[in-house]
């Protein structure tokens, strides 16, 4: 989607993608993603990533539900209520599939608190969904959808196969996910087209923060980061 084909040149999404391209490129070329594509990522790093992602997805689902409750039309209410449900369904499949394959017990998950960056990103999405108008909430939620779709396809295109992380790679490169992502981009662009100049400024700030937090989330897994105190 990064070729611009899914959005008009003057849309919010086109501007936001363009402005944050260096951060996207930094994510795409992170050691974590290189190692994932090469199949050389350590199971310990992948476990850290998965556990934090499971925590994150519940918070992402909550923020999506709050955004659904503020939707500017019934279609948006259905779209984001469904997305909230899907976030939890994906979290459950992490539990059922990856946690088992990579030896994370339910007990280990329950004992492992959110990492600082997971707590940061989760807090940011929930704060924005509650405190900000609908268009700004969508702008905060969009990078998680869009960057995963792009990274999924990018890794798919260069992954060494078979790869211990095949199942993960196939999830985010799949057409079903990409279709949902295109719909989120379209709704965000419609909301942006109806937003005030002040809201548009806050949409760009929210989008940028979420993009930075995506980089920080992967970086945190690579470093197996924990709370400093």
Residue 61 burial by Cβ neighbours in a 10 Å radius (0-12, 13-18, 19+): buried
Instruction: Tell me how far apart the alpha carbons of residues 210 and 190 are, in angstroms, rounded to a whole number.
Output: 20
- Under the binding rule (CB under 8 A), the answer on residue 85 touching a second copy is yes
Instruction: Tell me how far apart the alpha carbons of residues 189 and 171 are, in angstroms, rounded to a whole number.
Output: 25
Q: Which of 101, 156, 215, 225 binds a second copy (CB under 8 A)?
A: 215
- Under the binding rule (CB under 8 A), the answer on residue 198 touching a second copy is yes
Q: How distant is the alpha carbon of residue 214 from its chain centre?
A: 7
- Under the binding rule (CB under 8 A), the answer on residue 199 touching a second copy is yes
Instruction: Tell me how far apart the alpha carbons of residues 181 and 225 are, in angstroms, rounded to a whole number.
Output: 29
Binding mask 39-68 for a second copy (x = CB under 8 A): -------------------x--xxxxxx-x
Contact 28, 154 (CB under 8 A): yes
The nearest distance, CB 177 to a second copy, in angstroms, is 18
- Under the binding rule (CB under 8 A), the answer on residue 146 touching a second copy is no
Which residue shows structure tokens 């992602």? 53
Q: Which of 14, 38, 77, 156 binds a second copy (CB under 8 A)?
A: 77
The nearest distance, CB 43 to a second copy, in angstroms, is 25
Helix and strand numbers (H, E) in the chain are 12, 0
Q: What is the binding site for a second copy (CB under 8 A)? A: 22-23, 26, 58, 61-66, 68-72, 74, 77-78, 80-82, 84-85, 88-89, 91-92, 116, 119-120, 122-124, 126-133, 194-199, 209, 212, 215-216, 219, 227-229
């Amino acid at each position: 989607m990064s070729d611009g084909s899914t959005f008009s040149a003057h849309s919010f999404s086109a501007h936001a993608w363009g402005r944050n391209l260096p951060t996207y490129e930094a994510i795409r070329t992170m050691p974590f993603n290189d190692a994932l594509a090469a199949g050389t990522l350590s199971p310990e790093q992948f476990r850290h990533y998965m556990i934090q992602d499971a925590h994150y997805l519940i918070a992402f689902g909550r923020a999506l539900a709050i955004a659904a409750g503020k939707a500017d039309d019934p279609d948006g209410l259905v779209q984001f209520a469904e997305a909230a449900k899907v976030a939890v369904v994906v979290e459950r499949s992490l539990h059922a599939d990856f946690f088992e394959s990579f030896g994370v017990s339910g007990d280990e998950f329950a004992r492992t608190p959110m990492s600082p960056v997971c707590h940061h990103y989760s807090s940011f999405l929930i704060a924005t969904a509650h405190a900000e108008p609908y268009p700004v909430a969508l702008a905060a939620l969009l990078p998680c959808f869009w960057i995963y779709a792009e990274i999924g396809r990018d890794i798919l295109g260069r992954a060494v196969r078979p790869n211990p992380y095949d199942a993960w790679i196939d999830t985010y490169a799949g057409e079903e996910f990409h279709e949902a992502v295109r719909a989120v981009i379209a709704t965000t662009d419609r909301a942006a087209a109806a937003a005030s100049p002040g809201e548009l400024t806050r949409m760009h700030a929210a989008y940028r923060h979420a993009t930075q937090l995506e980089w920080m989330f992967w970086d945190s897994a690579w470093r197996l980061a924990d709370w400093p105190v």
